[in-house]
Structure 1
Amino acid sequence: MKLETMRACITNRLTIMAIERYIRPKEIRNSALKRQKLRNRAVPAIKEVTAVFFPILIVKRAVFFILKVL
């Protein structure tokens, strides 16, 4: 999972939020669909990020714990 991809997800989300403020009500349903599609695309990416960072966090915590005990 690249940092650029994460940035793209965030930017897409912000863009959609910005657009939604200025659109007419009949277009809202459309944007909801777009948002759902984006979310579906973002979920695997988020899972990938957690898969990478979670073990690192656990190791970090373990190391700190061991250092505290010693």
Structure 2
Amino acid sequence: MNPTILIVFVVVAAVGGIEERCSLPKETGMCKAYMPQFFFNSTSGACEHFIYGGCGGNENRFETIGECEQACLQ
């Protein structure tokens, strides 16, 4: 396979993964821990605070607002 085509494919896949992760809904998870986290709210277009329960949930979860903004506002 042509290396240039492979690089383009990897970049497109990575960008698609970021967009998909950031478009997932907020999920607090099924457990009852109290873990402050951030998620990207695709409706408001901003990273917002929420309380994560410690298990379950999805990939739209970040430990800091900076991580959220770096992943979803680029």
User: What TM-score do you get using the length of structure 2 for normalisation?
Assistant: 0.36
Structure with higher RCO (Cα < 8 A, 6+ apart): 1
User: What TM-score do you get using the length of structure 1 for normalisation?
Assistant: 0.37
More strand by share: 2
Q: Of the two, which has the highest radius of gyration?
A: 1
More helix by share: 1
